[in-house]
Each structure stands twice: as C-alpha cells, then as structure tokens.
Amino acid sequence: MEFDDKVPIYLQIKQVIYHEMVTGKLKPGEQLPAVRQLALDLTVNVNTVQRALGTMIAEGFLVSQRGRGNFVTEDQPKIATLKQQLVQEQLATVYHELHALNLSDDEIITSVQRYVQQRGNQDDSHLND
C-alpha cells in the first residue's frame, strides 16, 4: 500500500477502511484483522494503525470488544451516512476544482452530465469489443 507522505497516515488508513466498509468489502459486524496484521498489510507503524482505529471507534464506525478485537458497526444507517459523507467529500473536491476553472453551477451540472453520458457510451463500446 502506497501512502501520500504529506498527509497524516492515520487519516489515510481511515480512508482505506471506510472505503472497504462502504463498498461492502468489510460487512457490518465483520471482524477487522488484528492491529499488527493490519500494520503488516498496509506496511505502516502499529501505533499509527492503533490511532486510526481509535478515532474510528470514537466516531462509532467500529466497535471494540474487549479481548476479542474490533468489529464493523452493525448500525446500517450509520454506514449509509458514511457513504453519504465520502460522496460529499469527492463532490466537494470536484466542485472546488471546476469552480476554480470559472465554471458556473449550471455549467458544472451540464459538464458532469455530459461526462457521465460519454463515459457510459465508452464503457458500452468496450463491452462490445
């Protein structure tokens, strides 16, 4: 796993795990690997993993069971809000970048629509190959 060394690594670890929770790679109620195993999988420091998990537990996305390990919350709506949150973050970036190119809100919407359409056609033609 490659990390951006300019951004705190514990934040990036959180992103990785959130992503897996939202996409369903980590199911609600599923147990996470042990801290050391996660550190090995991601090639990062054990303390950094601990810190990432700690904040995720505080936020309520993970549940820590004493002596048994860490589990993904079974609170489905909670995970739905997480998905919402991640989508918001991505959109915020795109919106910010496009705005910086002097696009109006309407122009942004139409360009996104056009892009999605083009992209859809492209993928279809790829499928037909």
Residue closer to other proteins by CB (options 10, 61) is: 10
Residue closer to other proteins by CB (options 9, 53) is: 9
28 makes contact with other proteins (CB under 8 A): no
Residue closer to other proteins by CB (options 42, 79) is: 42
Instruction: Compute the distance between CA of residue 117 and CA of residue 119 in angstroms, rounded to an integer.
Output: 5
118 makes contact with other proteins (CB under 8 A): no
36 makes contact with other proteins (CB under 8 A): yes
How does 56-86 read in b/e, with b if 16+ C-beta sit within 10 Å? Answer: beeeebbeeeeeeebbbbeeeeebeebeeeb
39 makes contact with other proteins (CB under 8 A): yes
3 makes contact with other proteins (CB under 8 A): yes
26 and 20 in contact (C-beta within 8 Å)?
Answer: yes
Residue 49 CB, nearest approach to other proteins (Å): 10
93 makes contact with other proteins (CB under 8 A): no
**Taking the CB of residue 109, how many other CB atoms lie within 10 A of it?**
11
43 makes contact with other proteins (CB under 8 A): yes
